């Protein structure tokens, strides 16, 4: 057992002292899909002290192509990802304390978890959660590592409160549209690259070597052989509502969260975006049809089916998910197909 981390301890920037710091660290991972499962495995193998994994979904067959922790048995039995991840991770390293939480992370949960952890890793699938993570990070002084990938493209950025610009500094508004893995696909090398960037930065933070952090927003396309690392220090905004001088953490307030409502007697959930948005229904139709979806569109709305559900998208950004009264299930479909 004493040899378990010997190769990691031989790496001078970590050493035995750094390994002890890693072994006393507590990391929160939001999302246990491709990025989350890859990051969780890397941290468990590195000997992190405690890992809290949060995910609202279960394992599906389409996950197995890139979500490395899961097996056919998990997909067959629709095991919740957080539980499946914990089961497999405990067989990799039983000395790590692993907490599996099956839930849709909201402001209340994030504010409860953040003060107890040393680092948060973004492995979610939507910008609403990322912006909540960003504000919680600034409010409680906990660093977090942003990561995303779709197709062959990936991006990552490390945010340390008080030292770096936050995600809100980089984005004027929360982007509510865009491609997802379910509309544009994804290949596993893009996932693995983002995980490598996130975990490299995570280890630096856990051992306390902040001087070695990248301090750049890195993006790449492994298929097109493109790579960029952009310095964003100049984008730090003293008027930023999330990290500026008069910060008020807007994404932790109710009015800036996606609103959901179960429609009485209709077995349906309505989802309204957190800020006004006009959907380009023609563009959305093109994207969905490329994925083999049967789409119906008129000047006012678009509808398509994901068996056994039907989603109706309105120009004002509202979406009605028919076939469920489960708000978490409806939000999962919303973020999966509409960004």
Query: Where in the chain are the domains?
Result: 6-252, 258-338
* Residue-level pLDDT at 177: 47
Q: Per mean pLDDT, which of 130-134, 205-209, 228-232 is the most reliable?
A: 205-209
Rounded to whole angstroms, what are the CA distances from 165 to 56, 201, 251? 29, 16, 16
CATH 2.60.40.1180 describes domain 258-338: no
The answer on pLDDT for 193 being more than 80 is yes
Phi first, then psi, for residue 305 (nearest 5°) are -110, 145
On the 0-12 / 13-18 / 19+ scale of CB atoms within 10 A, 283 is: exposed
Convert the pLDDT of each residue in 113-129 to its tens digit: 999 999 999 998 778 88
The answer on pLDDT for 47 being more than 70 is yes
Convert the pLDDT of each residue in 269-288 to its tens digit: 888 887 667 889 999 999 99
Convert the pLDDT of each residue in 142-152 to its tens digit: 999 999 999 99
* Residue-level pLDDT at 271: 87
* pLDDT grade for 112, boundaries at 50, 70 and 90: very high
The answer on pLDDT for 160 being more than 70 is yes
Separation between Cα atoms, residue 212 and residue 208, nearest integer Å: 9
Bridge-partner residues for 121, per DSSP? 29, 145
Are 88 and 94 in contact by the 8 Å Cβ rule? The answer is no
* Residue-level pLDDT at 279: 86
Chosen CATH of 6-252 out of 3.10.580.10, 3.40.50.720, 3.40.1190.20, 3.30.420.10: 3.40.50.720
> Minimal CA–CA distance to 85: which of 46, 33, 137, 135?
33
* Residue-level pLDDT at 174: 39
- For the segment 204-228, the average pLDDT, to the nearest whole number, is 96
């Amino acid at each position: 057992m004493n040899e378990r981390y010997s190769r990691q301890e031989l790496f001078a920037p970590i050493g035995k002292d750094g390994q002890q710091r890693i072994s006393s660290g507590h990391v929160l991972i939001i999302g246990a899909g491709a990025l989350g499962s890859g990051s969780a495995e890397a941290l468990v193998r590195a000997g992190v002290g405690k890992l809290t994994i949060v995910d609202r979904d279960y394992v599906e067959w389409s996950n197995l192509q890139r979500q490395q922790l899961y097996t056919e048995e998990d997909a067959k039995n629709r095991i919740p990802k957080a539980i499946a991840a914990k089961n497999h991770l405990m067989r990799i390293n039983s000395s790590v304390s692993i907490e599996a939480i099956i839930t849709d992370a909201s402001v209340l949960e994030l504010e409860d978890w953040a003060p107890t952890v040393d680092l948060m890793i973004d492995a979610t699938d939507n910008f609403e959660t990322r912006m909540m993570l960003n504000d919680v990070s600034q409010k409680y002084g906990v660093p977090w590592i942003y990561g995303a990938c779709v197709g062959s493209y990936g991006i990552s950025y490390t945010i340390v409160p008080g030292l770096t610009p936050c995600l809100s500094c980089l984005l004027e508004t929360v982007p509510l549209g865009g491609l997802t893995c379910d509309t544009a696909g994804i290949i596993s090398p893009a996932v693995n690259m983002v995980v490598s960037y996130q975990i490299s930065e995570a280890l630096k933070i856990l051992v306390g070597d902040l001087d070695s952090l990248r301090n750049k927003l890195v993006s790449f396309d492994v298929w097109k052989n493109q790579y960029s690392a952009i310095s964003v220090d100049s984008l730090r905004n003293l008027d930023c509502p999330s990290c500026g001088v008069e910060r008020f953490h807007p994404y932790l307030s109710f009015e800036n969260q996606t609103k959901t409502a179960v429609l009485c007697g209709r077995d349906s959930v309505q989802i309204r975006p957190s800020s006004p948005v006009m959907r380009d229904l023609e563009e959305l139709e093109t994207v969905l049809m490329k994925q083999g979806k049967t789409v119906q569109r008129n000047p006012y709305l678009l509808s398509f089916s994901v068996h056994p559900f039907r989603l109706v998208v309105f120009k004002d950004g509202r979406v009605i998910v028919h076939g469920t009264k489960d708000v978490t299930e409806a939000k999962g479909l919303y973020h999966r197909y509409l960004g």
